[in-house]
Amino acid sequence: MSRTLWFVAGAATSAYAITKARRAAEAFTADGLRDRLSGLSLGAQLFGEEVRTEAAARETELRERLGLGLDGTTQIEAAPAAPLQLMRKGTT
């Protein structure tokens, strides 16, 4: 029984090692390297898009929180003067 168990364990380990070695050898062929580089390029593009999207969302959030317009002026400076004058007349 013990010898059979060790034989089966050795055969399974050998099959696993051969499969891993075959996949590693395929990865270093021209097609394998091309596939890896295209995957890396696509991953970098997706990461860049995600970073740009989140940066724009964060910038919008910060501008709203700080009351800044797109040109760097505050919303009070960019607002028309008439509502401010009406508020001042009502308080005096």
Q: Considering the entire predicted model, what is its pTM?
A: 0.52
What confidence score (pLDDT) does residue 71 get?
A: 72
Q: Nearest 5 degrees, angle CA 9-CA 26-CA 35?
A: 130
Judge whether 33 and 27 are in contact, CB under 8 Å. yes
Q: Report pLDDT digits (tens) over 53-71.
A: 999 999 999 988 888 877 7
Domain ranges of the chain: 2-91
Other C-beta atoms lying within 10 Å of the C-beta of residue 3: 7
Q: Report pLDDT digits (tens) over 25-52.
A: 988 899 989 999 999 999 999 999 999 9
The structure tokens listed for 9 are 């364990």
Residue 68 φ/ψ, nearest 5 degrees: -100, 145
